[in-house]
Chain A
Amino acid sequence: MNESLHIADTDLTLYAMGALPAAEMETARAHVQVCAHCKEELRQIELALAAYAQTTPEVTPPAGAKQRFMARLRETEMPALPAAKIMEKKPSLLERWFGSPRFSLPLAAALALLLIAVCYDDMRHRAALGPLFDEVRRGRVDSAKLNQIMELLTSQQVQRVALHETPSVTPPPEARVVYAGHNGKLLLTAQNLHLLPAGKVYELWILQPNGGKPLPAGTFEPDSSGNAAMILADEPENVAAAGFAVTIEDTGGSETPTSPIVLSGH
């Protein structure tokens, strides 16, 4: 191991995995504690390893695992830690105001919205979720739906498809679909859509793997900024999707596409 300047990348990778011999592990540990460069490199490696671990196909724990866990949890004493210490600050005036029963119901949605908005601040795809925030902000998404949205966004059992216009213009219209074929739940966010004349809507289609007739998956209209969303649309269960497409149809939607595809993705 090169100790002269920085730890070699190959050794730092092995260190992150705990795969260096014991003596070299100690040397690397000591170096990382005092070297900002290697500490940052190690952080990047750990992020990649965490992603690698999370690519493992999900397996449902054995039957009764939750009951056994909850039984053990009830036997496990939590260290006494007052809530105030956990929060590490006194509640603000706003928090006390929101904490009253009168505001308890919208509080969860408001906090979720705030949290999501703040945390997406540095994201490249921040705009992609804009339409979703709008729906939450308008009160069209309750806390139960927020739970379902979080599950859908984090599940491995979904398809994630980005739909683009061809040829593209700047800024190009685009849409993202998250689709769980097994239970028919679908989430669509779109931005930069062209505004439509009165009496027209965008319609989403599920393209079937066998080349069969596209299945209508719901209609949506952009707001004045060109954003749109379909939140937890319920499609038929167990329908496989080879891709998705969007056409422009008459208000109310159509059973079959009647105009050229404006967005598509596979």
Chain B
Amino acid sequence: MDDAELLEAVAQGNQDAMAAVFDRYSRIVYCIALRVLREPALAEDVMQEVLLMVWKRPQSFVAQRGNLAAWLSVVTRNRAIDVLRKRSPLEPIDEMPLPDPRNMALASEQGWMLDKVRAALAELPAEQQGPLELAYFQGLSHTEIAQKTGSPLGTVKTRIRAGLMTIRKAMDA
């Protein structure tokens, strides 16, 4: 079953289908939560919360037919950052827009694209990789990153932006 069929089944309360969603996406959700939180128990809590949202509100995915892996990745990162900073969610978790309106079955293309992004990140200079990692996976503000790295505020912003542009170029290559 592809994602769309799975979610149709989930929307009808099929627990086996939800178990299949867990099998397919728990690793990526868990590893992102763990990368942010560095604490297995907290990462599992976030994983459960995010995947339970799929169980509670599958119709939003079914209707939009977005890229489920991308949606789960963004939502997981944001929720994990909230937990890290012990703050209320910035946005209600189920109102996060799906970042990719294309159909989720772009699995093959997605795999090739992510390989290119990984290769581009491996080539990224450390001075760009560091601020991007600190901002995205540690949830630090640019002010905090500037203090931590000793770099001027404007430089931090520019380096984060440059790191992201490298990813975008790799996606389009």
Contact with A along B109-136 (1 / 0, CB 8 A): 1111111011001000000000010011
| Residue of B whose beta carbon sits closest to that of A65 | B44
> Given A53-B74, A78-B55, A119-B105, are A58 and B28 also a contact pair (CB < 8 Å)?
yes
- What are 21 A-B contacts defined by CB distance under 8 Å? A13-B157, A18-B81, A46-B99, A48-B167, A49-B136, A50-B71, A53-B136, A54-B70, A55-B118, A61-B30, A65-B26, A69-B48, A70-B15, A76-B56, A81-B59, A86-B11, A108-B1, A108-B5, A115-B2, A115-B105, A147-B1
Most buried by A among B5, B19, B143: B5
CA distance A115 to B6 in the complex (A): 13
Q: Smallest CB-CB separation from B74: which chain A residue? A: A50
**Of B15, B35, B102, B114, the contact of A51 (CB 8 Å cutoff):** B114
CA distance A1 to B79 in the complex (A): 26
Taking beta carbons and an 8 Å cutoff, which residues of A are in contact with B? 9-11, 13-14, 17-21, 25, 43-62, 65-66, 68-70, 72-74, 76, 78-79, 81, 83, 85-88, 108, 111-112, 115-116, 118-120, 122-123, 125, 128-129, 143, 146-147, 150-151, 153-156, 158, 160, 178
Q: Contact at A52–B105, with CB atoms within 8 Å?
A: no
Tell me the interface secondary structure of chain B in the complex.
helix
For B28, give its contact among A52, A56, A76 (CB under 8 Å).
Answer: A56
How far is A84 from B55 in the complex, measured between Cα atoms in Å? 17
List residues of B whose CB falls within 8 A of some A CB: 1-2, 4-5, 8, 11-13, 15, 18-19, 22-24, 26-28, 30-32, 34-35, 40, 44, 47-48, 51-52, 55-59, 62-63, 67, 69-71, 73-74, 76-78, 81, 90, 97, 99-100, 102-115, 117-118, 121, 132, 135-136, 139-143, 157-158, 160-161, 164, 167-168, 171
